[in-house]
Structures are given as structure tokens and as C-alpha cells.
Amino acid sequence: MTALTISQRELPKQILAVLAGGFVLFVSILVVWVLGYQLAYAGRIFPGVSVAGVDLSGLSPNEAALKLSQTLSYPITGKVLFRDGEQVWVASPAELGMVFDASASAMAAYQHGRSGGLFGALSGQVGARGLGADVPPVILFDQRVAYNYLQNIASQVDQSVVEASLRVDGTNVVSEPGRMGRSLSLDATLIYLTSQLQSFRDGEVPLVIQETAPRLLDVSSQAEAARRILSQPLTISIPSYREGDPGPWTFDIVVLANMLSVEVVETNGVTDMRVGLDPAALRPTLEDLKVLVDRNPQNARFVFNDGAGVIEPIAASAIGRVMDVEASITAINEALLRGEHNVNLVVAEQAPAVQDTAIGSELGIVQLVAQQTTYFYGSSEARIQNIVTAAGEYHGLLVAPGETFSMGSVLGDVSLENGYAEALIIYGGRTIKGVGGGVCQVSTTLFRTVFMAGFPVVERYSHAYRVSYYEMDASGSIDTQYAGLDATVYFPLVDFKFKNDTPYWLLMETYVNVSARTLTWKIYSTDDGRSVTWETTGLLNKVPAPEPIFEENPDLGTNQIKQVDYAAEGADVTVTRTVWKGGLVYLTDQFHTHYEPWAAICQYGPGSDSPKQLARKNKICLGSS
């Protein structure tokens, strides 16, 4: 490598010195230029400088201010336009709160090229001289004035949101479309206005309108759906209608109009209007119909052919049905929205447990397992009619294995319409005439049959006082061993219930022999080996019957008298039953009965002689029966 000479090592230093000197010279020239230029235009605006297009070259600030005030009339003569559709508003800048400051604008023009340091000043001077420099005018803008002006415009363009509506007027559907809400944004519009005023030119300032959409803008389709619903009456029916079924039911248009519901709903953030029959209005009606539509499945009824040892049907089984009210409401509304006005209710069918094709051996009904007979000598024709009617409700009836049988639920409504007659009944501590007297002959007979068969008794109520019918033997005499073996039914308050605690079905048969005044209850099933023994305390704590009561009856003639109630002494009795099975005690229970003493009652016609003498003469109301 060749060694550098001393002159070669010193060369860079010489170059740097030259460059530094050149820079100092350049800066000196710039300073001289700037200072010299400023001295040349001392107190005057540099050439090429203007304000809002007005040339102010060479003018002093005062001269420039005078020229600007004489030349620029924009605040007074200028026009600023606002537009909203076909509506137009035009105002001068002064009306919008603008004031032009000529002195400040002239001073701003004077400062152009004199600020920003050496290079900033030089740039301003050169730019103005070469290309010209238009300095923005200095304005004073009172935004409160502009705000008030824009508020006036807002009062004309703003409009509130209007939701679409739908209502029913009589049977007419009236709908109104929704409307977009509009609101002038004053702050945003002021920004555009400020920019326009600073331009010192006429121009249009956009109105910043914010629109708000209603939740529902158009409900024409819902209105059409409502009109379809009200276009004709609605008919609802049971599906697979058979003769004898209830219905169909028709709702006229006026009724439908009163039930029509218009509801605004929101699903997953989407708002919609739903029309249909109001479930709250439709539900009570359908619940009333449900009482008519619902039907428990009916097992077939049978009698046992003792000779052949088989069961024979006497009444066919019936399929049960249960109406689903809520599902029916949905089905009705869906059908109406499709334009359908004949709608089936939603009904579920339930098959009976035993149809009329059943075989006795499959049900465990193969023999007679219990039979009891009670007597009703001396009963009136009305009482006999009620015994026949009530007993018929249970003839051929089946009781399922494990079922707790309610006598009252089968008996139903004891009324004149259902074949019952008025006869003497116990009510309110008195024996009076009422519908259904004699029904307790039936409940007592069932109780005794269940008692002797050894089935568990779940619920049993005795009579308030001893009734002679329930202590009669076959000869018509009173046998007190039957005291405490009666049962009364006044459904739903008072019921008689027993449980079939066997794995076999029970078949019950009832037979009324009117001429013999007997009621026989039979139960067929499978003998599971149970037997019954029982004992009674007999009548204890006896209380004599009160003196006879004599009442005037306007329906009787003079000196006519009849006994309407019979004396009975009060007493307590307890019957204990033991059910045996396989040589062991299977069940033990007791039935405690308290009988109130009861007075005989005789009624006589108005104007009669002494009632007691009439009673003795006719041998009535003289003592207990």
C-alpha cells in the first residue's frame, strides 16, 4: 500500500472549509435579501398578497383595511343557501352571525412574509411575488345567531317517528303506514356553514338530516291478514266427528272482531306485528267447550253368564278424548292466517282399557265372589224410581286391578233431567223433599257388598240418624245387627270409595226387583281365598227420640194428616271386620257410627182438629219405627 502524503491527508479538511464558507455566504445572502426586502416594503404589504381575492400589494395596513371594507361586501350581499327537498332557505352571512374584520384581515396580509423565521419569511415573500398569496379573511362568527337560524329551519324539517298502526273499527280493519323520523343536526350543519362563510363566496350549505326509522314502517300484509280473518264466520269442530258428538260451533264476524288481537313482537332483534285471535279472549270459550268435548274412555260393560261362565257385552266401549286448549288456539290462528275458517280442534284420543271383545278369563272375571241384598219395603214410587235410576249406573261396570273406585264419580249429577224424582232426603238436620231420595239405598248396598267381600274401604260416611230401610231383613222387620252398615253419598262433598286390591278385574252387576222391593249387588272376579268375619257392639249410648213434630201443610185438606218422617233413637255402634287370607289375618278395620236421635214429623191440613188426636186416630207419629 502506498503511503499518503501530507497534502493528501489535508485535502478533506480543505474541502470542508470551503463548504462551510459557502454555506455562511449563502445564509448571509438570504439575510441580506430578507432584510433588504422588508426594508424596501417597510410598513407596506408585500407584492402578490391579497385577501379574499382583493390585491393589497404595496398598501399599508390602514390603506388595505380601507380597501377591504370598501371592496368586500360579502357579509351583507353574500348568499348562503340551505335546501331540503323542495324547500329552500337563503340568508346573508350577516344574518347568520358573520362579521368581517377588515383591520385584522389587513394586518394578516401585512404579516404574510414577515413571520415563520428566516426561511418561513423568505418562502412567504417568494411565493407571494411569484404565484401570489391569498390570505383568508378574518371574520367574527357568532354561532348563537346561526344556531337560532338553523333552529327555525329545524322546526320546519324535523318530524317525529310514526309507527305503523293497525286497529279494528267494528268489523273493519284500519291501517296506517309508519313514517321516518327526521331531525336536523345543528352542530354538524354549523361545521359546514363555518367553512362556507370562511370561503367568502356564495354557496349552498348541506343540511345534515338524521333519519330515524320506526320499528314498523309497513303493516299492509298484517292488515290483509286481519281482513282475511274477518272475511267470514269461524267454525270449529271435533276431528273425526261422529253422530252424537258435541258441536260444531260457529263464531260470527262480530265475535271474531272482538277477539282480534294486534300485537307488536320482537324476535332476535327484529320487530314485527302479529295479528290473530287473542289467546286470552279465546281461551275461556275453548275451556268451556273442553267440558263438552272431553270424554273419559269408557270400558265396555258386561254381565256374567253364570251358566256358561263367560262375560257378555251389554254396552260397547267408547274411545276417550282430551282437548288441548293451547294447541287448539295455535291451530285456529294458523288456519285463519291461511284463510281457512273451518278448523278442527286439537283432540287426543284415549283407548279404553277394556273393549267389548274382551274375554273374562283374560280379565280374571270367572266367578261370583260377593253378593248382598238390601230391602226397601214401604218406599214411595219416587224413591223406587231413584233406586232404579242410580243402580242402573253401576250395572255391568268394571273396576281395574289396584283402582280406588269412587261411587260418586260414576253417579254424576242427580237431577230431574237425569231421570231422578223428588223424594224424602236428609238435609240440614231435617228430612225434606228433594231430588234423589233413595240413592243412599244404592250406596248402602254397595258398602255391604264390599264389606262382605273383604275389599278395603277407603271412604265411607254414615247417615245422621238411623234409617229403617237400612236395617230391614227379608221379612221387612228391623234387624239391629245391620245398624252401622249404611253409607251415604252426596257427591262431591260425600263419597263412598273402596279399593280393588286384587290383581283381577271386578265386574259389578246391580238388580232391582221392584215388586219384591229388593236391590241386589253382585261382584264377579277371581276368588283369591279371602273370607270375612265381623262383629258389632250393637246399639250403645241410646238416646230416646224427641217428641213428634206437627207441621201445617197447606197442600193437605182439613183433618188430613200424614207422617213424613219417622222417629229414631240416637245411639253409637261400632262394627269390626276381619278379613282372612290363607288362614292369616289380611285386614282388620272398624266402622264407628254415631246416630242422632230423630223426631217423627207429621203434617196436617189447615183448620184440622188437634193434630195429636188425628195422629192417634191414624196411628202415626206415636213412636220410633
Q: What is the pLDDT of residues 311-348, one digit of tens each?
A: 999 999 999 999 999 999 999 999 999 999 999 999 99
Range 437-460 burial, b when 16+ CB lie within 10 A, else e: bbbbbbbbbbbbbbbbbbbebeeb
Pick the residue with more confidence: 279 or 24?
Answer: 279
> Which CATH number does the domain housing residue 231 bear?
3.10.20.800
Q: Has residue 73 been placed in a domain?
A: no
**Confidence (pTM):** 0.62
pLDDT tens digit sequence for 563-604: 877 788 999 999 999 999 999 999 999 999 999 998 888 899
Q: In angstroms, rounded to a whole number, what is the distance separating the alpha carbons of residues 142 and 192?
A: 15
How many residues are given for the chain?
625
pLDDT at res. 15: 62
Residue 109 lies in a domain: no
**Of residues 423, 424, 413, the one with CA closest to residue 385:** 423
**Last residue within a domain, chosen from 350, 381, 414:** 350
Residue 345 is assigned to a structural domain of this protein: yes
d(CA 334, CA 286): 16
Q: Are 483 and 463 in contact (CB under 8 A)?
A: no
Residue ending a domain, among 326, 350, 374, is 350
Residues of the domain holding 312: 220-350
335 lies in a domain?
yes
Nearest to 74 by CA among 37, 48, 105, 33: 105
Element at 570 (helix H, strand E) = strand 570-581
C-alpha torsion angle, residues 209, 215, 221, 223 (rounded to 10):
-110
Of 324, 350, 376, the domain-final residue: 350
Residue 1: pLDDT over 50 = no
Reference 45, options 123, 105, 119; nearest CA is: 105
Count of domains observed in the chain? 2
pLDDT at 28 over 70: no
pLDDT at 12 over 80: no
In a domain, 449, yes or no: no
List all residues 6 or more positions away from 400 whose beta carbon is below 8 Å from its beta carbon.
Answer: 353, 500, 505
CATH code of residue 585: 2.20.230
Q: Determine, yes or no, domain membership for 609.
A: yes
Q: Is 90 exceeded by the pLDDT of residue 305?
A: yes
Range among 30-44, 375-389, 422-436 rated most confident? 375-389
> How much of the chain exceeds pLDDT 90, in percent?
62
Q: Hey, what's the cell of 351?
A: 283407548
Q: Is residue 231 part of a domain?
A: yes
Model confidence over 384-429: pLDDT tens digits?
999 999 999 999 999 999 999 999 999 878 778 777 887 655 555 5
Q: Is the pLDDT of residue 66 over 80?
A: yes
All three cell numbers of 151:
333552529
Look at residue 433 and tell me whether its pLDDT is greater than 70: no
**240: Cβ contacts below 8 Å, ≥ 6 apart:** none
Query: Cell 320546519, residue?
Result: 156
Tell whether 330 is covered by a domain. yes
